[in-house]
Amino acid sequence: MTDTSLEINLLRQAMAESTGMDAETFDLSLPHWHLKRYKKGEFYNEYKNVCKHLGFIINGVFRIYRANEETGEEKNMLFFSKHGSVKRTVSTPLLPRWRRSAST
């Protein structure tokens, strides 16, 4: 088992800054956070799958993009980077794919 105290502290700080969450309230969520590493090109959530997860980026970049089914051309829509969060709760055929696009 790896020590995740650095990652948890980064997450705690980000949640406090973005939501005003105090340490005691954040500590209630600790059992629900799990460290997961993604490789470049690996999907956070695949097309047409409903995702009910919230992610926090320790290092690297995630992107949301649309792919033209006929040409395969990809159009970037949003980027999420270091110390940012990734959240997706609804999926329809029109929503884009999420993929880890870079490693830093």
Could you read off the pLDDT of 55-102 as tens digits, one per residue?
888 888 888 888 888 998 988 888 887 767 655 433 333 344 455 555
Full-prediction pTM beyond 0.75?
no
Residue range(s) in the chain whose domain bears CATH number 2.60.120.10: 36-104
What is residue 20's predicted lDDT score, i.e. its pLDDT?
A: 92
CATH architecture of 36-104: Sandwich (2.60)
State which amino acid sits at residue 71.
Answer: T
Strand 43-45 to 97-102 pairing: antiparallel
